[in-house]
Structure 1
Amino acid sequence: MISNFAKAGWRFKRPSVIPGFGLTLGFTLAYLALIVLIPLAGLVWRSASLGFTGFWNVAVDPRTVNALKISFGTSFVAALVNVFFGVIVAWVLVRYRFPGRRIVDAIVDLPFALPTAVAGIALTSLYARNGWIGHLLEPLGIKVAFTPIGITIALIFVGLPFVVRTVQPVMEEIRKEVEEAAATLGANRFQTITQVLLPGLQPAILTGFALAFARAVGEYGSVIFIAGNLPYVSEIAPLLIVIRLEEFDYAGATAIATIMLLISFFMLFVINLIQAWSRRRYGYGT
């Protein structure tokens, strides 16, 4: 039995040319506990002061439910849009050489550097009723600012770089010879994209979707200006948390935050499962 235990321990700690496994693992666990786990545990502990009944009342409150629907619904749609257009942008930057390519490549990172409040004000000035784009859409009966549509546009703006920068390095590793070989074997352009390129990009696309979705769910600064913050219409969950804090309802604020945490964790867990399945199926990352 001792021999079996020793063998299991040997399999757990395989010899490596890089020393310091125990030290780096301990540092990693301590750092994650200090930065991530302890704050989240404090959040859950504070919301537990409401008791199950109080927590449930906050969870099923119509205003909370509507704010969560708007936050997660718009974040999901924005992430899907970013996946579609982000892959196209990455493809253009990787496969084509054209004047101004470096400028376009730098513009992709602009939402990273731009303060979110500045982005919110800029989008509001564009899509408001008297804005450059808003006044063109108003005669068509399309209202963007102060609606969930405006929230989605703001989340698309802040989430696009996550998809592009995740897919772009993987796409650069796919050589053009692969596409040419598929063409010589009789595949048309659609078959080359769907059966040759996308399977290899699928894990990176899912990662980009997860990052864009996670960023969108917690986005606040660029959304509050264009959302209008109307209860039951365009009020997002992060804003409702701030409102509860301003009302000194700390337990209610942490309860809403805990609900968002649970939903986000579940969705990201499902995405990770899909990523693992994709890697096993197509043999990438193994």
Structure 2
Amino acid sequence: MAFKKHSVLPGFNLSLGYTLLYLTIIVLLPLSALLLKSSGLTAHAFWAVVTEPRVLASYRVTFGASLLAALINLFSGLLIAWVLVRYSFPAKRFIDALVDLPFALPTAVAGIALATIYAPNGSMGELLAPLGIKVAFTPLGIVLALTFITLPFVVRTVQPVLQDLEVELEEAASSLGATRLQIFWKVILPTLLPALLTGFALAFARAIGEYGSVIFIAGNMPYVSEITPLMIISKLEQYDYLGATAIAVVMLVVSFGLLLLINGLQWWSAKRLGRR
């Protein structure tokens, strides 16, 4: 006699229904409302709003700084994850906990702290000023703030994969005469590549929408260090709801397209590794 196997969670139909309902309320409805609101503009008016010179300059600052910050964390995050996984040293747990600090710290607090330290009269600003390097109130400050905010996304994505990576594979490659560079390039990196792409995508997406930490250190100068989220806030303060919605739709479309592209690369990489 076959006994029915009970599951801790509800059945598939109930679980799927709840999942779809929850995602619809939390994700789809707000995005649909955004698109519907933007439909109040004609195609010509929509294009005129999203291609204003000041708005275009904010796109360049936002996406350029976000891309640069994500690339920086792609390499630094891999290095930090490698150190935390492969080495034992004093205060390791403390340093590991520091990685999560940008998650818990309010973004406004992070922005104020960075602006205070890197201002011309700040502790770091005074050291960099004689070298002709100005961080606060420049696009470089935006990159710094975004790098701080998005670091945990890469580290926490790569770290579990590194922990599961079998050291025996590296030892076998070394016994066959492979150099350290060859071991990293042909054994370690292919395994980490999907996780690296995922961490990069998460960091990039998070950086695009960042507002609180950036406005304090950016200087918010039009055409120089003004980010797109600030343009949306400015439109709302002027009661230009349609204009704010139009810019938000552009951000949504570009972000979604980039995430699809990066997830496609991640799928391709995982499929390629699965065939080997």
| TM-score band w.r.t. shorter chain | over 0.9
| 2:65 partner amino acid | T
Q: Measure, in 2, the Cα distance between the counterparts of 1:17 and 1:268.
A: 38
Q: TM-score, normalised by structure 1?
A: 0.92
Out of 219, 223, 229, the residue aligned to residue 210 of structure 2 is: 219
Q: Measure, in 1, the Cα distance between the counterparts of 2:28 and 2:54.
A: 29
> Could you tell me which residue of structure 1 aligns to residue 172 of structure 2?
181
Q: Measure, in 2, the Cα distance between the counterparts of 1:62 and 1:31.
A: 39
Task: Note the C-alpha offset of 1:161.
Answer: 0.4
Q: Pairwise mapping of residues 25-44 of structure 1 onto structure 2 (< 5 A)?
A: 25-44=16-35
Q: Measure, in 1, the Cα distance between the counterparts of 2:90 and 2:117.
A: 28
Task: Note the C-alpha offset of 1:29.
Answer: 1.1
Q: Which whole-Å deviations, capped at 9, do the CAs of 1:98-147 have from their partners, x for residues lacking one?
A: 11100100000111111111100110011111111111211222111111
| 1:283 partner amino acid | G
Q: Which whole-Å deviations, capped at 9, do the CAs of 1:26-74 have from their partners, x for residues lacking one?
A: 1111111110011001001111111111100011111111111111110
> Could you tell me which residue of structure 2 aligns to residue 3 of structure 1?
none
RMSD: 1.5
Q: Does 1:141 align with 2:125?
A: no
Q: Does 1:234 align with 2:221?
A: no
> Could you tell me which residue of structure 2 aligns to residue 101 of structure 1?
92
Moved over 2 A (4+): 16-19
| 1:135 partner amino acid | E
Q: Does 1:280 align with 2:271?
A: yes
| 2:232 partner amino acid | I
Q: Which whole-Å deviations, capped at 9, do the CAs of 1:178-201 have from their partners, x for residues lacking one?
A: 211111111100111111001001
Task: Note the C-alpha offset of 1:17.
Answer: 8.0
Structure 2 residue runs without a partner (length 5+): none
Q: Does 1:266 align with 2:267?
A: no
For these two proteins, the number of residue pairs brought into alignment is: 270
Q: Which whole-Å deviations, capped at 9, do the CAs of 1:195-249 have from their partners, x for residues lacking one?
A: 1001001111111001111110011110000001111010000011001000000
Out of 106, 110, 114, the residue aligned to residue 115 of structure 1 is: 106
> Could you tell me which residue of structure 2 aligns to residue 48 of structure 1?
39
Out of 194, 204, 212, the residue aligned to residue 203 of structure 1 is: 194
Q: Measure, in 1, the Cα distance between the counterparts of 2:40 and 2:122.
A: 46
Q: TM-score, normalised by structure 2?
A: 0.95
Structure 1 residue runs without a partner (length 5+): 1-15
Question: Residue 133 of structure 1 aligns to a residue in which SS?
Answer: helix
> Could you tell me which residue of structure 2 aligns to residue 162 of structure 1?
153
> Could you tell me which residue of structure 1 aligns to residue 48 of structure 2?
57
